[in-house]
Amino acid sequence: MSLPTDLTVARTRTELAAARAALEGPVAVVMTMGALHAGHARLIEEARRRAPSVLVTIFLNPLQFGAGEDLARYPRTLDDDLRLAAAAGADVVFAPAPDVVYPDGDPGVRVAAGPLGTVLEGASRPGHFDGVLTVVAKLLHLTRADLALFGQKDAQQLLLVRRMVRDLDLGVDVVAVPTVREDDGLAMSSRNRYLTPFDREVALVLQRALRAGAAAAGEGPSAVRRAARDVLLAEPAARVDYLALVDPHDLADVPEHHRGEALLAVAARVGSTRLIDNVPLVVGRPLD
Ligand SMILES: Nc1ncnc2c1ncn2[C@@H]1O[C@H](COP(=O)(O)OP(=O)(O)O)[C@@H](O)[C@H]1O
Ligand SMILES: [Mg+2]
């Protein structure tokens, strides 16, 4: 099948600058690592609703992968990605090679995610969020975007991007998009392509655990944690990395007396694949 003709694909900084200059502002950016799925499509569609011009980046950022992670086997499906991006409403796709983004190799200067980058995902993946924020900052500058959309599935990433934009005065609007799920509840992810049919069944335990936790929200934090943990323990084929009920603003574990907003987040290894998911909750009885 031929590639969409109404889409501009930029591979170099020069091509990006030319494509960007032709866009009517405001410009919305959706940043991805490729292997696009319906979650990415939702972000692009939401961008389309909010801005006259939509730019999608497809860049598998080596800086955010640790040694022994899945960078080498990460799915690369550029032709399909371009079709999906165009169908969802992208005007421009910027798909640079690593040496376009990092012409001097490993950047000596990086954004430091700080304390929020060391908990949850950051505890399991040291340096991950420094790598994420560094590339997000670079792509914001390169695209000169006015707004940027991020998925709630990566709640910690979303929070850190918001913090970076505030702490470094980057002057871009950050928009959160709710998690898009398969019909059976599995959060869409490029990494779902790694799952064997057996793993795919096992992976549903994340969503079941989050639902069980959410159903216990009226009874307080320990009930939420217990309900979710019990579901996870019943599926030994999922190796849990963390299960946490945290304050969505600072990612601190919520104390037992906590009432109000919280985030129930889980990460687990299923087969050779590491999966994450989360659900926002309101803990305690709503005020009447
Ligand atoms: N299921 C989903 N629902 C909503 N947004 C998503 C979903 N999956 C990924 N995203 C968002 O798409 C953007 C790019 O994520 P990326 O790492 O490329 O995909 P994935 O996490 O699926 O591997 C991020 O902002 C991420 O939060
Ligand atoms: Mg991802």
Q: How confident is the model over 2-45, as pLDDT tens digits?
A: 677 789 999 999 999 999 999 999 999 999 999 999 999 999 99
Ligand 1 center to residue 268 CA distance, Å? Answer: 17
Determine the average pLDDT of the residues in 146-163: 98
pLDDT at 288 over 60: no
pLDDT at 286 exceeding the cut of 70: no
* Residue whose CB lies within 8 A of the most ligand 1 atoms, among 154, 160, 181, 194, for a mutation test: 154
Q: Is the CB of 46 under 6 A from ligand 1?
A: no
Average pLDDT over residues 134-143: 98
Q: Mind listing the pLDDT tens digit for each residue in 239-280?
A: 999 999 999 999 999 999 999 999 999 999 999 999 999 999
The closest of 34, 240, 59 to 142, measured between CA atoms, is 59
Q: Which CATH architecture has domain 8-177?
A: 3-Layer(aba) Sandwich (3.40)
Nearest Cα residue to atom 11 of ligand 1:
151
Sheet bearing 53-58, strands edge to edge: 8-10, 92-94, 53-58, 27-32, 147-151, 173-177
Residue 57 has pLDDT above 80, yes or no: yes
Q: Give the distance (Å) from ligand 1 centre to CA of residue 149.
A: 10
Q: For the chain, list the strands marked E by DSSP.
A: 8-10, 27-32, 53-58, 92-94, 147-151, 173-177, 238-246, 260-270, 273-283
In the prediction, which pLDDT does 95 show?
98
Say whether 258 is catalytic: no
Q: Are 262 and 250 in contact (CB under 8 A)?
A: no
What would the mean pLDDT of 182-186 be, rounded to a whole number? Answer: 97
* Ligand 1 within 6 A of CB of 96: no
Burial 110-132 (b: 16+ CB within 10 A, else e): ebebeebbebbbbeebebbbbbb
Q: Which of 54, 35, 221 is nearest to 146 (CA)?
A: 54
187 alpha carbon, closest ligand: 1
Domain ranges of the chain: 8-177, 190-281
**CATH class, 190-281 region:** alpha beta
Distance 144 CA to ligand 2 centre (A): 23
> Which residues does 177 contact at the CB level (< 8 Å), separation at least 6?
42, 43, 46, 149, 150, 151, 152
> What is the structure's pLDDT at 79?
97
Q: Mark the binding-site residues for ATP, compressed into ranges.
A: 33-40, 151-154, 180, 188-191
pLDDT at residue 287 greater than cutoff 70: no
pTM of the model: 0.97
Question: Looking at residue 102, what DSSP letter applies?
Answer: -
**Residue 77 DSSP code:** -
